[in-house]
Amino acid sequence: MYAIPFLDLPALAQIRGTVVLPGSKSISNRVLLLAALCEGTTVVHDALDSDDTRVMLAALQQLGVGVQVNGTTVAITGCGGRFAPSSAAPAELFLGNAGTAMRPLAAVLAVLGVPATLSGVARMHERPIGDLVDALRQFGCTVDYLGETGYPPIRVDQITENRQYSISVKGNVSSQFLTALLMALPLAVPSPDDQPIELRVEGELISKPYIEITLNLLARFGVIVRRDGWSRFTIQPGSRYRAPEHVYVEADASSASYFIAAGALACEGRGEDDCVRIKGVGADSIQGDIRFVDAARAMGADIRSGANWLEIRRGAWPLKAIDLDCNHIPDAAMTLAVMALYAEGTTVLRNIASWRVKETDRLSAMATELRKLGATVEEGGDFIAITPPRELGVWRAATIGTYDDHRMAMCFSLAAFNPAGLPVRILDPKCVAKTFPDYFEALLALARPRGEVPVICIDGPSASGKGTLASELAKRLGYHYLDSGALYRVTALAATRAGLSLDAEHEANIVRLIQTLNPRFDDGRIWLNGEDCGTAIRADDMGGKASQVSALPGVRAALLDLQRRAARLPGLVADGRDMGTVIFPQAPLKVFLTATPETRADRRHKQLMANGFDAKLSDLLADLQARDARDTQRSVAPLKPAEDAKPLDNSQLGIEESVQQVLSWWLALQPFAAT
């Protein structure tokens, strides 16, 4: 996950490969709650691990439900409808911005009469819940508003006897209200002698496919609800949730929409593998958003499907504009809005008023951000009409606001395929954690850049602070980090262990040895054939040895490819001696970092002592000067600034000041308008 203020996506050209999507949010949260309402244990497989499922699990634990998480497998030991919070005081449940937790939990607790308060983030307190509360009150539930009437936070309390068995609920704001009632009311009629409960839907029911998911899952847990059209539902007496032991969560069909769209935009080529393959969701899905496939086909996508897989290629190009009632796919319809940027003509998406009460006002957010890219957008009460930028020159490199809305962030990543070859800046990319924490990683693993992957080079002498600066820059920009010195250190370590002296006589043997090495870098650790060798390569004699092997031309050639392959999306920060001169001569920013030898020796001394190595300052200074001399005088790739490198002497600068300096140079090179 990119927990950084913004992520710059370079212009993308192509996409192909296989993606395994995380579990569906709607199914995960419904299943977790239903399992909690059963007697006994249900093992939920392939559950989504995201912000919204975490708040659900935390709430269930607070209510005394057994929860055991092991990756994407969650074992829930239910309470059979008798929650047992750990304290006698009303449970205080914080539900973030998860509508799929707030609405059903409110209904279940109210119907069971469990005293509790339910709150969330500020946006959750702007999302309506009044229609659900009105329906619950008809059933004798006690629900009070703690803030504004009609919105969370709310308090539920013991149920009264004053209940009706025919309840009406409005269907035109959010289908989650009906879902919540359908999940909660069976708890009130466990005996065959109870009365049936009739639920009447007033007005047109929106997002019907989500109700189908609910009914489908209720049946999986042993409760059959009678449905008469979409306006009347009957909860039968004798309803009891029964643990199905194992439940498999389908991959998220809404998340699939971004990869379907990407395939339709940028998966060319006719080879069998020239496609985007999605595993875990397909034609047999119970999720309404699978109907996005039809809409994408109508726009021109070439899609094949099986029971639980999809394969997408570019079909018609440019895409075809559509005019579509999107009531049945409210979430995935957002993806169509961004596909519209690549269509000929104006695309109109209708019947999407529910966008206004989601994570943000999605209608207005979508219009605002599409316009930043150069599109012409008309925004109505319940529709949006999008006309793409009329020519290449109208496209803009935009800074996209994401409104703490995962779908805004995921949708607008698709703008990186723009024909103008412009990068896209996504603000607050971590908002995707709501449903797909590794979304950008998954997309970037399959996508190819239109040009070169952006690279920042930091070269300079030993202990000038290259590694510190480069790794910090990488962290702030969400880029990969290449510590090229570590490769020479690993080579020196392996050659020394193999008993090879580090000179020209043994060059061929060292080169052969390199072919067998398989160094792996992850999370700041360095693995060599399964051994964590991070400490061994930092021993104080290893710098000098690395410097010796690095002077051998064969060694440098053998390590070239490995270094170039480190340039992966979304970008790379590389530190070393010849990053700017030899390895990445095309890099848009090269920094030559220096500090006085005394400053550097002093820094290295402190660093070694802090890491438990014993070292004498005067020896270090001498070693460092010897290394400077060897590194600058060797015949291949000597240490010297690239012609276009920016010099930075950080003798008098702290780490943060150095980072800020280079960041400001980098940001000044980007084309983003200050929007």
Ligand X SMILES: Nc1ccn([C@@H]2O[C@H](COP(=O)(O)OP(=O)(O)O)[C@@H](O)[C@H]2O)c(=O)n1
Q: Please enumerate, by residue number, every residue annotated as part of a binding site for phosphoenolpyruvate.
A: 25, 99, 127, 176, 362, 407, 434
Q: Choose one: 127-135, 201-209, 485-493, 666-674; the region binding ligand X (CB under 6 A).
A: 485-493
Interacting residue with ligand ADP among 500, 502, 658, 672 (CB under 6 A):
658
Interacting residue with ligand X among 85, 288, 485, 580 (CB under 6 A):
485
Number of residues in contact with ligand ADP under rule CB under 6 A: 16
Residue with tokens 């690279």: 455
Binds 631: which of ligand ADP, ligand X, none (CB < 5-8 Å by kind): ligand X
Cβ–Cβ under 8 Å, residues 251 and 281: yes
Please give the annotated binding residues, written as ranges: 25-26, 30, 99, 127, 174-176, 207, 331, 358, 362, 407, 434, 460-468
Shortest reach from residue 376's CB to ligand X, in Å: 49
Shortest reach from residue 113's CB to ligand ADP, in Å: 59
Please give the residue whose beta carbon sits closest to ligand ADP in the complex: 465
Residue 331 catalytic?
A: yes
Rounded alpha-carbon distances, angstroms, from residue 79 to 42, 55, 82, 174: 12, 18, 5, 28
Task: Give the integer Cα–Cα distance in Å for 437 and 257.
Answer: 16
Q: Choose one: 242-250, 393-401, 460-468, 555-563; the region binding ligand ADP (CB under 6 A).
A: 460-468
Task: Report strand pairing: 531-532 vs 525-528.
Answer: antiparallel
- Virtual CA dihedral for 190, 195, 196, 201, nearest 10 degrees? -110
Smallest Cα–Cα separation from 405: which of 434, 426, 363? 434
DSSP state of 423: -
Q: Choose one: 420-428, 433-441, 506-514, 601-609; the region binding ligand ADP (CB under 6 A).
A: 601-609
Cβ–Cβ under 8 Å, residues 257 and 332: yes
Question: Is 413 a residue that touches ligand X (CB under 6 A)?
Answer: no
Which distant-in-sequence residues (6+ apart) come within 8 Å of 125 by Cβ?
A: 119, 147, 148, 151, 152, 153
Which residue, 74 or 579, is less far from ligand ADP as judged by CB?
A: 579
Around 638, how many Cα atoms within 13 Å sit in the side-chain half-sphere?
8
Shortest reach from residue 655's CB to ligand ADP, in Å: 5
Question: Is 547 a residue that touches ligand X (CB under 6 A)?
Answer: yes
- φ and ψ at residue 74, rounded to 5 degrees: -125, 125
Please give the annotated binding residues for ATP, written as ranges: 460-468
Q: How far is CA 629 from the centre of its chain?
A: 46
Cβ–Cβ under 8 Å, residues 478 and 570: yes
Interacting residue with ligand X among 152, 282, 576, 580 (CB under 6 A):
576
Interacting residue with ligand ADP among 468, 548, 563, 594 (CB under 6 A):
468
Question: Is 594 a residue that touches ligand ADP (CB under 6 A)?
Answer: no
Binds 546: which of ligand ADP, ligand X, none (CB < 5-8 Å by kind): ligand X
Task: Give the integer Cα–Cα distance in Å for 225 and 199.
Answer: 10
Shortest reach from residue 345's CB to ligand ADP, in Å: 54
Question: Is 650 a residue that touches ligand ADP (CB under 6 A)?
Answer: yes
Question: Is 16 a residue that touches ligand ADP (CB under 6 A)?
Answer: no
Shortest reach from residue 258's CB to ligand ADP, in Å: 38
At residue 458, the 3 state secondary structure works out as: strand
Phi-psi region of 80 (alpha: psi -120 to 50; beta: other; left: phi over 0): left
The 3-class SS string of 219-265 reads HHCCCCEEEECCCEEEECCCCCCECCCEEECCECHHHHHHHHHHHHH
Which distant-in-sequence residues (6+ apart) come within 8 Å of 501 by Cβ?
A: none
Burial of 109 (C-beta count, 10 Å sphere; 0-12/13-18/19+): buried
Q: Choose one: 212-220, 264-272, 402-410, 542-550; the region binding ligand X (CB under 6 A).
A: 542-550
Rounded to 5°, angle at Cα 611 from 610 and 617 = 65
Which residue, 324 or 457, is less far from ligand ADP as judged by CB?
A: 457
Interacting residue with ligand X among 96, 388, 401, 543 (CB under 6 A):
543
Binds 203: which of ligand X, ligand ADP, none (CB < 5-8 Å by kind): none
Question: Is 484 a residue that touches ligand X (CB under 6 A)?
Answer: yes
Q: 8, 46, 289, 331: which one is catalytic?
A: 331
Q: Choose one: 32-40, 289-297, 517-525, 653-661; the region binding ligand ADP (CB under 6 A).
A: 653-661
At residue 396, the 3 state secondary structure works out as: coil
Task: Give the integer Cα–Cα distance in Å for 500 and 197.
Answer: 83
One-letter amino acid identity for 33? L
The number of residues making up the chain comes to: 675
Question: Is 620 a residue that touches ligand ADP (CB under 6 A)?
Answer: no
Q: Choose one: 349-357, 553-561, 647-655, 662-670; the region binding ligand ADP (CB under 6 A).
A: 647-655
Residues that bind ligand ADP (CB under 6 A): 462-468, 575, 603-604, 607, 650, 653-655, 658
Residues that bind ligand X (CB under 6 A): 462-463, 467, 484-486, 488-489, 543, 546-547, 550, 576-578, 627, 631
Catalytic positions: 331
